[in-house]
Amino acid sequence: MNAKVLLLLAVVAAAFADKPSPRYNVPVPDSDSRSYEDSFEVPKYEFQWSVDDSSSGNNFGHEEARDDEHTQGGFYVDLADGRRQNVKYVVDGDSGFLAEVTYDGEARYSSESHESSESHEYAPPRPTYA
């Protein structure tokens, strides 16, 4: 019985050992076709979207345009302190991501906030009971 099991395992091992491993190479074009670099299209796109939901107070958006290696765009978001944060950015080739961040409005803090109602003096933590 043991000899049959060993023979079966040897046959299975030989079957798996015979299969070549898969190879993943970059496709090479035919000599009469375009070069490999020419087979890619130049990236060119534009998009824009925004969200303005008065029930939740969410107001933000994003826009971007790209033509080959030049990308420009921006996004904005209304912050909890009442200001709007604007980010304008440019990517030109290998220059990296260059952003300019600005704020519109003045920060407002409610007198009813959790932080303003607390004392700024040190006190030991309150005990908690489970």
Cβ–Cβ < 8 Å for 48, 58: no
* Domain coordinates in residue numbering, the chain: 39-106
**pTM: predicted TM-score of the whole model, two decimal places:** 0.55
Annotate the chain with DSSP letters as a single string.
-HHHHHHHHHHHHHHHHTSPPP--------TTS--TGGGSPPPEEEEEEEEEETTTTEEEEEEEEEETTEEEEEEEEE-TTS-EEEEEEEEEGGG-EEEEEEEES-----TTSHHHHS-SS--PPPP---
User: 44 pLDDT exceeds 80?
Assistant: yes
pLDDT tens, position by position, 4-21: 877 878 877 777 776 666
pLDDT tens, position by position, 53-89: 989 889 999 999 999 999 999 999 999 899 999 999 9
